[in-house]
Structure 1
Amino acid sequence: MDKIILSPSKYVQGYNTIERLEVYTSSLGKNSLIIADDFITKIIKEPVSNSYQNSSSNILFEKFNGECSKTEINRLMEIIQQNKIDSIVGIGGGKTLDTAKAVSYYAKIPVVIVPTIASTDAPCSALSVIYTDEGVFSEYLFLSKNPDLVIMDTKIIANAPVRLLAAGMGDALATYFEARACTAANKKTMAGGTATKASAALAELCYNTLLSDGYLAKLSVENKVVTKSLENIIEANTYLSGVGFESGGLAAAHAIHNGLTVVEELHHLYHGEKVTFGVLVQLVLENAPKNEIEDVLSFCKKINLPVCFKDMGIENINKEKIYEAAKLACAEGETIYNMPFEVTVDDVYSAILTANSLGEDFSS
């Protein structure tokens, strides 16, 4: 099987980069559509407009209506055709960015991704999650290429809620352990081949960066300031984890996340918060060394990531519901089968309950 690594064509990160947007986007098109919701537009419209003030490029702002649905994608496609748009810029959270990527795919124009939070590793990926107009999951749209440009403005991200940054670290925490499992099993990644040494190295660097800089980055965002540690974590959450997961592979941790979606009491949690617990479950499945599990538990407690059901708001565990979560985690085609050993529903059920007890004991 071929080894494959994917990444965005260019990744830019810096303080107030939003004020230099035109410098980085002008080579991609001369008529750009910029989509953002109302809240984000109030923050970015003036600096973006100023960036293009002396440029020969034209920009058109359009409100993102809140859902990455086929209706919204088709609406924006009409605007692109009517205004001869030749590139699209998505600024905001996950659904805004997924919509920009989907529109780029269908319109066959370059896309620029500008996250205003560092809560997941999705911005760098060749994937959009499509929902119905009511917000119900519809399908994954696998794109023909990764974004042409990803821009991270560290000042904007420093002013976002600290819980979002922590959730991003939870998502990134899984990258190394899942990539390690996929490599050991020689399984295919989302890039379509097996992992390269480069993607494995990025995944390990991601984990080491979380341990060394995560706590200070959390303190930075609590004070709404940018430090070297925050810069490192933004890169880890977004680029290192983004390339690491897509080209390194997913395994048990994300499958456990998917299984936990059947538990209604956990719907208030962010993606990365549930993935965090999935990491602990995967380590139990692997019978990982005690010191490795303790390192993960210690890191999670320092940045307020959940390590047991009590942390996630569940006082009394419904074991029947947990078994249903284990069954969903082991559904046909799930990434849990990328583990380098056979995994059964009973294995996952046992690991979930054991990981929960580990987390409770560590917290007490």
Structure 2
Amino acid sequence: MSRIMIAPGKYIQGYGELKRLKDHIGAMGNRFLVLLSRGGLGRLESTLKAGFRGNESALVFEIFNGECSKTEIDRIRAVCRDKKCDAVIGVGGGKILDTAKAVAYYEKTPVIIVPTIASTDAPCSALSVIYTDEGVFSEYLVLPKNPDAVLMDTEVIVNAPARLLVSGMGDALATYFEARACIAADKTNMPGGHATKAALALAELCYDTLLEDGLKALLAVETGSCTKAVENIVEANTFLSGLGFESGGLGAAHAVHNGFTVLEECHGLYHGEKVAFGTLVQLVLENAPEDELEEVMGFCASVGLPVTLEEMGVKEADRVRIMDVARAACAPGETIHNMPFAVSPEDVCSAILAADALGRHFLA
């Protein structure tokens, strides 16, 4: 039985670290293609150049067209070759980062990931989600290795909307419970092995950090402040959750998230907001102890993550519509089948409605 744990080559986090970019990645290349949005260029061009002070010509800026599609990946690859870049830096949100990973993979160059938000645990992963030019999901590109470096500048991140940090907490909330379930079921993780003790320990530390520092971090970010609690939550959202989900495994929480994408009223929710409610559903499926359920609901309520269907935007929670969600969550290949017991759409439907009832009771 193989135990496998994967991670980025280097993880850097701190206030103002973007101004020290060359110190962290200078050995990875001589000419860097920097992929970012037009707005990101306006906000961060001077900071990025300051990070390469004295060697600004090493940076080649390219504006992202908005979609992580094969067409865009091929376009950026051509720019990379034409400008003779030997490394790629992705700066921004998920689709920019996924595009940078894909370009670097095909061009066989190092990739440096610089998120401007801490809303998911995807930056550290060896995965790109590919869409059509119209924005419809196409495929997952599973990469042979994680990014060469991930840099989280908390000076940048605290200036993003606080709801994005909370969404990251919702995504991170599932990490421990899903890893725990996968290990109990003896299921394999994302790299195709079994979880190490280190992966489970990081997942559990992720959960403990959320409980300890989540509310404090939210209140600080709402004032534009970067405190130790903010630093801890950014690490939990990005690094601890990233390593925990990839090397621990995914379970019912993310599958329930995917199921809720069939409801139009949930399209305005962030990924982590749906995952947080999915975590409650997973705990109901497991018949988790009441004190554990109350602890999770208390955390969610304290930071503004949904614990009821109404908070998810679902005003009409009839069983027929929830069964549509449940069927999607139980589709072949979904991670709900990593649970240590068989799960049917009927089970999921009942668990969703029961989680909603528990949430309403808790809030009352």
Alpha-carbon distance between aligned partners in 1 of 2:172 and 2:269, rounded to the nearest angstrom: 16
Is residue 66–residue 95 contact of structure 2 (8 Å, CA) maintained in 1? Answer: yes
Deviations 1:181-231 (A, max 9, x none): 001111011121010000000000000000000000001110011000000
Alignment check: 8 A CA contact 1:123 1:238 kept: yes
Q: Give the SS at the match of 1:122.
A: coil
Alpha-carbon distance in structure 2 between the residues aligned to 1:83 and 1:317: 54
User: How far apart in 2 are the matches of 1:133 and 1:42?
Assistant: 25
Distance 1:12 1:192 in 2: 27
TM-score, scaled relative to structure 2: 0.99
Query: Equivalent residue for 2:349?
Result: 349
- Counterpart of 1:152 in 2: which secondary structure? strand
CA RMSD of aligned residues (A): 0.9
The 5-angstrom pairing of residues 38-117 of structure 1 reads 38-55=38-55, 58-117=58-117
Q: C-alpha distance in 2, partners of 1:130/1:144?
A: 16
Partner of 1:296: 296
1:92, distance to aligned residue in structure 2 (A)? 0.4
How far does the alpha carbon of each residue in 1:306-336 deviate from its partner, in whole angstroms, 9 at most, with x for none? 1111112222213212101111111111111
Structure 2 residue 3 is matched with structure 1 residue 27: no
Give the Cα separation in 1 of the matches to 2:15 and 2:114. 13
Residue 134 of structure 1: aligned partner: 134
State the distance in 2 between where 1:189 and 1:61 align.
Answer: 36
2:187 is aligned to 187
Q: Find the residue that maps to 1:198 and give its secondary structure.
A: helix
Residue pair 1:18, 1:44 contacting (<8 A) in 2 also: no
Question: SS of 1:123's equivalent?
Answer: coil
Q: CA deviation at 1:22?
A: 1.2
- 1:169 and 2:169 are equivalent in the alignment: yes
Cα drift, residue 57 of structure 1: 6.5
Measure the CA separation in 2 of the matches of 1:146 and 1:283: 30
For structure 1, the residue ranges without an aligned partner over 5 or more in a row are none
Gaps of at least 5 residues in structure 2 are: none
- Output the amino acid matched with 1:247: S
Could you say what secondary structure the match of 2:145 adopts?
coil
| Whole-angstrom distance in 2 between the partners of 1:305 and 1:191 | 30
Tell me, in whole angstroms, the C-alpha distance in 1 between the residues paired with 2:313 and 2:262.
15
Give the Å deviation of 1:56.
8.2
SS in 2 for 1:124: coil
Give the match for residue 323 of structure 1: 323
| Range with bigger deviation, 226-235 or 50-59 | 50-59
Q: Give the distance between the partners of 1:315 and 1:144, measured in 2 at CA.
A: 43
Q: Which residue of 1 aligns with 2:207?
A: 207
- Matched residues in 1 for 2:50 and 2:260: separation? 45
Shift of 1:360: 1.1
Q: What is the alpha-carbon distance in structure 2 between the residues aligned to residue 39 and residue 58 of structure 1?
A: 21
Residue aligning to 1:336: 336
TM-score, normalized by length of structure 1? Answer: 0.99
Q: How does 1:218-237 map to 2 (within 5 A)?
A: 218-237=218-237
Q: Please name the residue that 1:284 is paired with.
A: 284
1:345 CA drift (Å): 1.2
CA distance in 1, matches of 2:316, 2:8: 44
2:263 alignment partner AA: V
Q: Work out whether residues 30 and 56 of structure 1, in 8 Å CA contact, stay in contact via their aligned partners in 2.
A: no
d(CA) in 1 for partners of 2:49, 2:55: 10
- Structure 2 residue matching 1:151: 3-state secondary structure: strand
Quick check: 1:171–1:271 contact (8 Å CA) kept in 2? yes
Q: Aligned pair count?
A: 364
Letter matched to residue 88 of structure 1: V
Give the ranges of 4+ consecutive aligned residues of structure 1 lying more than 3 Å apart after TM superposition: none
